[in-house]
Structure 1
Amino acid sequence: MEGLDAWAFEPRRVEKPWGYELIWAHADAYVGKVLFVKAGESLSLQFHREKDESWLVQAGRAKLELGSAGDALLEEGVVRAGACFHFSPGTVHRLTAIEDTTIIEVSTTQLDDIVRLEDRYGREGTTAP
């Protein structure tokens, strides 16, 4: 196993009010995360200006809201394990876990590119500097 150490690294866990994210890959061209959202908790209603991301619902059940920036109404539906989604820049989205939900996310590298439109935890605006 020692020969593999040059390629190994520790994933980084980031605590969130809705659960946590585990960053398991951070390369020049992409980022890989596991998002764990506790039952009853919700991500921000948000969009990204540059970040492009794809999700695989690995486990659980959740309500997903989707639309384009500026849309008056968002599409809503219940998603389950096995569902996959792509969010291009400008896609407004929010996930609310009906039961504990695990998402595998692969995205471009703009981790600070988030514009929050609504947030139940009091976080406002964008996290970009």
Structure 2
Amino acid sequence: MPPSTTSTVRDLVGDATGRRYVFTELSLPAGGTTPFRRHPDDLRTHIVIGGAVELEAAAAPGEVSTTRYGAFTGWHAPPGSVYRLVNRGDTEALVIEAGTRAGTVREADDAAALLDTPAPPPACRDASDYTVDKPWGHEVWYTANLDGPPYAVKQIHMTAGHQSSLQSHRFKAETNYVVEGEAKVLNGLRAPADTTEAVDPARIPAALHGPRTGWSSAPDILHRVIAQRTYTSIEVSTSELDDVIRWQDDTGRGDGRIDSEHEGAR
């Protein structure tokens, strides 16, 4: 029988992405805890988006380190790490988990049950706070401190009245989850094969998204985000971050990576 847990997990990945990454919302009630877990083949990133949690990571039998994470901070759990989440607060905590989906996840109430070798398991590490200013707000690239990760996790913060470029990607798939605020999202029309062709945004299906809702965009799908109210989302995508075709942009930015935005990154 699997170990009991007081947490609940909600899958956030739409079928449009082909499920090329894991993206889930974990809800942990006040006083709640997850089992210890180990994913031998997968890299995972966790970002707290509500409340606070303590990460308890096992280094050896009987040795557990504790690190506290608040909203919009988090950690990377490399393959083979052993850890659990604890909510010692008096309100619900919400945590986003993203990553690869290569293998199985093992769980146990006792960390020692998951320590299969004498060597200590790999240590978890803090997520990056690398911040890139944008004409409409800023992004935090949480996975910027990983070496060639097969996925990317970003915080997207857009101020009210602004909008992203109207864009598409040749290879990149992405899923967004709104944490706070409200966005009008244009999404779902296939991009023309000819990148010089004019695109009418009015033809693209539109929907409003508030907290704890989201959307996915597959390759070659036109999409744009318009901040009805200042909003913050977490975006998980495949790793092709420079793969951007900008069909329209309020500040005239071209396709691909904008190097000047990264020159001032912090």
TM-score band, normalised by the shorter chain? 0.7 to 0.9
Aligned to 2:229: 99
Aligned to 1:69: 191
Aligned to 1:116: 246
- Considering only CA atoms, is the larger Rg found in Structure 1 or Structure 2? 2
**Greater RCO structure (CA 8 Å; 6+ sep):** 1
Partner amino acid, structure 2, of 1:33:
K
**Structure 1 residue runs of 4+, over 4 Å off?**
none
Residue in structure 2 matching 1:57, options 142, 163, 178: 178
**1:76 Cα shift?**
1.2
- The question of whether the paired residues in 1 share the 8 Å contact of 2:128 and 2:143 is answered with no
Residue in structure 1 matching 2:159, options 35, 38, 43: 38
Q: Deviations for 1:28-86, whole angstroms, at most 9, x for unmatched residues?
A: 21110000000001100000001111110111111111122138611012211111211
- CA distance 1:8–1:84, shift in 2 (3 Å): same
TM-score, scaled relative to structure 2: 0.44
Aligned to 2:128: 10
TM-score, scaled relative to structure 1: 0.88
Partner amino acid, structure 1, of 2:164:
L
Higher strand share: 1
Unaligned runs of 5+ in 1: none
Of 69-78 and 47-56, the range deviating more from structure 2: 69-78
- The question of whether the paired residues in 1 share the 8 Å contact of 2:136 and 2:159 is answered with yes
Measure the CA separation in 1 of the matches of 2:223 and 2:185: 7
Measure the CA separation in 2 of the matches of 1:113 and 1:76: 23
Aligned to 1:48: 169
**1:127 Cα shift?**
1.4
Aligned to 1:127: 256
In the alignment of these two chains, the number of paired residues is: 128
